[in-house]
Amino acid sequence: MKKTIILCLILSIVFIMDARAQKKSSTYFTTGGELIFSFASIDNNGNDGGNVMRFTAFLHLQGMLNHDFNNTLGIFTGLALRNVGFIYNNPETGLKKKYRTYNVGIPVGFKLGAMNKTHLYAGYEIEFPTNYKEKTFNNERKDDKFNIWFTSRVPTLYNTVFVGVQFRYGINLKFKYYLTNFFNQSYTEVNKDGIKEQKFKDIDVRIFYVSLNINLFRGSHFSYSQKELERKY
């Protein structure tokens, strides 16, 4: 009998806690863009340096599905389209190279802090490169440019991590680091002399950037907490 009473009490507490969590939780969708200031750690056959900051505002689109368990803890996932790359001034040849890819990203992360004010967030994002572009400049004059879809010059996916802060009025700052080398070091092509070469074999490039986002975690709700409903109606 005592065991039955204890079990009933435990189940009652669980149901009450679950009901309270349901009242506090909310699910909503947000969208945002990015202004990206990117850099790169470049190791070209043992030679470091040559990186130039790259700024881009086009084309960056993000949509996030958010779920807030309460006012201080939430999770999110989504879909993003992002223009990512770097600029390299080769110290040996004097040539400037610009590389970029358009990536489709799927982030997974958590949020911690005041959900309707300032809070921190962090997570992991997998990115799939789609379009690759390469430009070559000699004494600031463009010598060559080309782009190609789904090339083996770059990996099939990038592993990335990020951390950021969302401020009260929708401004958002994020830092992101690419764990995967920008290039596929195993890529092989035939040069103009008919010789096969691995042009990226000795190049290791790790991109990282700081971005400014607007309203990344502020948007229209799918469901509201009990307090939000009371304020709304």
Q: Which helix (H) or strand (E) holds 231?
A: helix 226-232
Q: What are the extents of the domains in the chain? A: 25-232
pLDDT tens, 173-199?
999 999 999 999 999 998 888 889 999
Q: What is the pLDDT of residue 227?
A: 54
Output Rg (C-alpha) for the chain, integer angstroms. Answer: 24
If pLDDT is split at 50, 70 and 90, which confidence band does 21 have? very low
Q: How many CA atoms lie within 13 A of 135 on its CB side?
A: 13
Whole-prediction pTM: 0.82
Domain 25-232 CATH assignment equals 3.30.2320: no
If pLDDT is split at 50, 70 and 90, which confidence band does 17 have? very low
- How many other C-beta atoms lie within 10 A of the C-beta of residue 44? 17
pLDDT tens, 131-158?
999 999 987 788 899 999 999 999 999 9
Q: Which helix (H) or strand (E) holds 137?
A: strand 119-138
Please give the Cα distance from 201 to 1 (Å, whole number): 73
If pLDDT is split at 50, 70 and 90, which confidence band does 9 have? very low
Q: Which of 152, 69, 140, 61 is nearest to 98 (CA)?
A: 140
Measure Cα distances from 139 to 42, 61, 142, 195 in Å: 21, 34, 8, 28
